[in-house]
């Protein structure tokens, strides 16, 4: 998901500035405290969060529409370099102010937070300006074009006690919520593998490659559903550039899990067939998610494979049962994203896709690019659940 805006973005792969391996995010590397700083709830005199939306392209328009439908948000501005485009999004009767000045939005004391939907290459600059101005931030993925820039943004948000949240919308869909409940709740048994395919004859991006464009969704979903003890620990990547673009348009990721399982993702801009599927296999049940089939979005197969312990080469125990299609409500996930952002600001709730989740996705993507430079070797993913700021 992206926004089409007037701000230019550089071409080529997004890597560390010096082309080296991603900076380590090992425990204790960036902070000495053992607990993440807690942010107190915000006192809203009106009971509503004043919001400015920055970016009035395809995705910015969706953000504005969903924010206007949330009673806890008071949308004050829609900002775009092309003010006429912002006005056309708002229509003739809106009380929201259209502007081309980000400074106007960030200096207005009635604005408590901003939702940013500008090109990826501009995220670090715009998010930094918003945090410096004391605004809570919701930003479309990725958090920044480089991991070290993203670390600086998360640190700035924590130092100021501000909400920094990523709009990984798939993580807030009803079907992914059900996946999370089943996997983390033990409904599938021991997690064995995940296999996802996200391919179509899609728009070839000029600013990022196919991993940053498409695989980032699957990485975010994976991180949000994996239970404790089965977190991603290493990634290997292979990719191809058959069009000679200077960036890959077909990519494959293999991600090792801490429990010995594996996750695999195939992303592709060149497939004439659009496929959006994920298979999650456990020792008790197997889940099949087909995002393109509203009649059977999720299927739960009561079957799994286990090997009796201590019995050597005896045949595995195959559990065969029924297939169930649960009722999954069709809801616009972006509305849940906006509501989650508002609750995080007003009540101090921790968003599922906070700045740390954004760092985890970026670390995986940069490790994937390092893997490709190493001819597909596995690259370890360092844990980074410690705070980035020191506590008194």
What tens digit of pLDDT does each residue of 67-78 get?
A: 999 999 999 999
- Prediction pTM value: 0.83
239's enclosing H/E stretch is strand 232-240
DSSP E strands in 283-380: the ranges are 286-290, 298-301, 304-306, 317-319, 323-324, 379-380
pLDDT value of residue 22: 37
- For the chain, which residues make up each domain, given as ranges? 49-169+334-353, 174-330
| CA distance linking residue 191 with residue 187, whole number of Å | 10
More confident residue, 199 or 314: 199
| CA distance linking residue 389 with residue 155, whole number of Å | 6
Lowest mean pLDDT among 30-34, 218-222, 278-282, 350-354: 30-34
User: What is the length of the chain?
Assistant: 392
51's enclosing H/E stretch is strand 49-54
pLDDT by residue (tens digit) across 131-152? 999 999 999 999 999 999 999 9
pLDDT at 34 over 60: no
Contacts of 210 (CB under 8 A, 6+ apart): 239, 247, 248, 249, 250, 251, 267, 268, 269
pLDDT by residue (tens digit) across 238-276? 999 998 989 999 999 999 999 999 999 999 999 999 999
pLDDT at 101 over 70: yes
What confidence tier does 38 reach under pLDDT thresholds 50, 70, 90? very low
**Class of the 174-330 domain?**
alpha beta
- Whether 174-330 and 49-169+334-353 are alike in CATH topology: the answer is no
pLDDT by residue (tens digit) across 219-240? 999 999 999 999 999 999 999 9
CATH architecture, range 49-169+334-353: 3-Layer(aba) Sandwich (3.40)
């Amino acid at each position: 998901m992206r926004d089409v805006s007037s701000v230019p973005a550089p071409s080529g792969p997004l890597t560390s500035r010096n082309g080296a391996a991603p900076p380590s995010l090992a425990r204790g590397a960036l902070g000495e405290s053992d607990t993440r700083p807690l942010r107190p709830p915000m006192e809203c005199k009106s009971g509503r969060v004043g919001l400015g939306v920055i970016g009035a392209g395809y995705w910015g328009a969706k953000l504005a529409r969903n924010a206007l439908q949330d009673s806890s948000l008071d949308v004050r501005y829609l900002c775009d370099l092309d003010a006429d485009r912002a006005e056309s999004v708002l229509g003739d009767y809106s009380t929201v102010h259209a502007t081309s000045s980000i400074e106007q939005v960030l200096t207005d004391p009635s604005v408590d937070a901003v939702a940013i939907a500008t090109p990826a290459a501009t995220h670090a600059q715009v998010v930094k300006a918003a945090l410096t101005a004391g605004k809570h931030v919701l930003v479309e993925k990725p958090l920044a074009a480089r991991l070290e820039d993203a670390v600086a943004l998360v640190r700035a948000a924590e130092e100021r006690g501000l909400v920094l949240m990523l709009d990984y919308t798939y993580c807030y869909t009803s079907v992914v919520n059900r996946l999370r409940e089943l996997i983390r709740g033990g409904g599938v048994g021991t997690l064995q593998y995940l296999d996802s395919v996200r391919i179509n004859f899609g728009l070839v991006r000029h600013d990022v490659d196919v991993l940053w464009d498409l695989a980032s969704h699957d990485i975010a979903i994976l991180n949000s559903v994996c239970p404790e003890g089965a977190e991603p620990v290493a990634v290997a990547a292979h990719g191809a550039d058959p069009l000679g673009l200077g960036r890959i348009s077909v990519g494959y990721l293999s991600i090792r899990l801490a429990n010995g399982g594996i996750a695999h993702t195939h992303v592709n801009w060149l497939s004439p067939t659009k496929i959006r599927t994920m298979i999650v296999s456990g020792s008790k049940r197997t889940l099949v998610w087909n995002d393109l089939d509203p009649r059977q979005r999720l299927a739960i197969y009561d079957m799994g494979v286990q090997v009796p312990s201590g019995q050597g080469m005896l045949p595995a125990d195959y559990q065969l049962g029924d297939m169930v299609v649960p009722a999954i409500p069709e809801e616009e996930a972006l509305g849940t994203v906006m509501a989650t952002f508002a609750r995080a600001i007003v009540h101090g709730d921790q968003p599922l896709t906070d700045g740390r989740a954004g760092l985890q996705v970026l670390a995986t993507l940069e490790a994937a690019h390092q893997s490709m430079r190493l001819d597909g070797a596995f690259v370890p993913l360092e844990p980074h659940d410690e705070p980035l700021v020191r506590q008194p």
